[in-house]
Copies of this chain bind each other. A is one copy, B any other.
Amino acid sequence: MRTTKPTRRSDCPICYSLDFLGDKWTLLVVRDLVFMGKRHYGEFLKSDEGIATNILADRLSKLEAAGIIRKSVDPESRVKNVYTLTEKGLDLVPLMLELVAWGAKHDPQTGAPKAFVRRLREDRAGVIKEIRKRLAKG
Chain A residues near B (Cβ < 8 Å): 7-19, 21-28, 31, 35-36, 48-50, 67, 88, 91-92, 94-96, 98-100, 102-107, 110-113, 116-117
Complex: how many Å from CA A78 to CA B112? 43
Q: Is the pair A19, B24 in contact by a Cβ cutoff of 8 Å?
A: yes
How far does the Cβ of A44 sit from chain B's closest Cβ, in whole Å? 13
Selected from B92, B100, B113, the residue in CB contact (under 8 A) with A102 is B92
Copies of this chain in the oligomer: 2
Describe A's contact surface by its main secondary structure. helix
User: Assuming A11-B113, A22-B23, what are 12 further A-B pairs, CB within 8 angstroms?
Assistant: A7-B48, A12-B36, A12-B48, A13-B35, A13-B103, A15-B49, A21-B99, A22-B24, A88-B106, A91-B105, A95-B99, A98-B98
- B35 A28 Cβ-Cβ under 8 A: no
Q: Which residues of B contact A17 (CB under 8 A)?
A: 99, 102-103
Is B14 a contact partner of A99 (Cβ separation < 8 A)? yes
Q: Which of B10, B13, B27, B113 contacts A21 (CB 8 A)?
A: B27
